[in-house]
Amino acid sequence: MAEGDTIHRTARALEAALARKTISDVEAPSPRSPLRRQGHRVDQLRGSRLERAEARGKHLLLHFDGGLVLHSHLGMRGSWRISSGATRRDRRAWVVLSAGGAQATERNGSHLELRTESEVRSDPRLRSLGPDVLAGDFDAATGVAALRGADQSRQLGEVLLDQRVLAGIGNIYKSEACWSARTDPWLPLSELGDEDLRRLVIEVAGLMRYGVEIGRQPHSIYRRSGMPCPRCGTPISSRGQGDANRTTYWCESCQGADAPQRGIIGA
C-alpha cells in the first residue's frame, strides 16, 4: 500500500526518468482510465516537458511546462512503474507517459486527473492537508502543534491517519511508529503529554525518511498479530480502529502507561 514514503520515492524516480524530456506520447489504454474523459488535455500534454514531480502527503503532482498538472492519488491499489526501452503495451494502465525512451505507467488508484495549476491551487482536498511529515521543513514542533490542533478526544491511532492533521502517514507507519515510540495508539490525545507526542512525531518522521531512502517499510509488528513482540515477546494484538475500522497492531505490554520504564529495554 502506498504511503507518503512511496509517493516521495515515486516523485524522485519520475523526475529522474522524465524531467526536461519531451513527452512524445500519452496513452490511456484502460477503459477505466479517468483520462479517457480528458482527451483535449491529453492532447495538450503531448510535446510538453515535466518540470518537477511533487509529493504532498499521499498525493503526487507532476507539473508540466505547458501549465498542466497530472494529479494522482494511488488509494489502496494504485501503483506507478518506470521502464525503459521497448515494453509490452499494458492494457490495464490508466496512463502511460513516454519520453526519451522511458515510460512511466500508472495503474488503478483513487484519483487521476489532468488539471491546470490554478485548479490544483484551489483543490479543497489538497488545501485541507496537514503538514507533510516528509516535507523538508517538517520538524517535531510542527508535528506536535498539528496533533494538538486536532480534537483531543480522538484516539492517537485514528488521528495519525487523518490527512488533514498530518499528511503522508498510512496504516503501516501508524502502527510501527506507535510501537517504536512505545506509545499506546488507543489513548485519546488528551491523555498524551507533549513529550509523548514529540517522541511519536520523531519516530514517524524518522521511519518514513528511512523508508524513502531504502525503499522498504518497517514490519516490526504490522500484520504480525499473535507473533511475539520483537522487544518484549508478548503476542502482538490487532483490532480495527476509528470510523474507517483500519487495523491497528500494537503490543499490550510495552506500549502505554503500564510499560516498563522507557529507555531501559531495547531501542
Binding residues (CB under 5 A) for Zn ion: these are 229, 231-232, 234, 251, 253-254
In terms of CB distance, is 140 or 187 closer to Zn ion? Answer: 187
DSSP state string for 134-181:
TSTT--HHHHHHHHHTS-TTSBHHHHTT-TTTSBS--HHHHHHHHHHT
In terms of CB distance, is 128 or 234 closer to Zn ion? Answer: 234
In terms of CB distance, is 82 or 232 closer to Zn ion? Answer: 232
> Which grid cell sits at 108?
488503478
- Give me the least distance between CB of 127 and Zn ion, in Å please: 40
Q: How far apart are CA 234 and CA 230, in angstroms?
A: 8
- Give me the least distance between CB of 234 and Zn ion, in Å please: 5
In terms of CB distance, is 195 or 258 closer to Zn ion? Answer: 258
Which helix (DSSP H) or strand (DSSP E) does residue 196 occupy?
Answer: helix 194-214
> Which grid cell sits at 185?
495508539
In terms of CB distance, is 187 or 232 closer to Zn ion? Answer: 232
- Give me the least distance between CB of 196 and Zn ion, in Å please: 17
- Give me the least distance between CB of 29 and Zn ion, in Å please: 48
In terms of CB distance, is 67 or 235 closer to Zn ion? Answer: 235
Q: How far apart are CA 72 and CA 70, in angstroms?
A: 6
- Give me the least distance between CB of 254 and Zn ion, in Å please: 3
- Give me the least distance between CB of 231 and Zn ion, in Å please: 5
In terms of CB distance, is 13 or 232 closer to Zn ion? Answer: 232
- Give me the least distance between CB of 184 and Zn ion, in Å please: 12
Q: Are 114 and 38 in contact (CB under 8 A)?
A: yes
Of the candidates 22, 114, 112, 28, the one whose C-alpha atom is nearest the C-alpha of residue 75 is 112
Count helices and strands (H / E) in the chain: 8, 10
Of the candidates 142, 139, 185, the one whose C-alpha atom is nearest the C-alpha of residue 160 is 185
Q: How far apart are CA 187 and CA 183, in angstroms?
A: 9
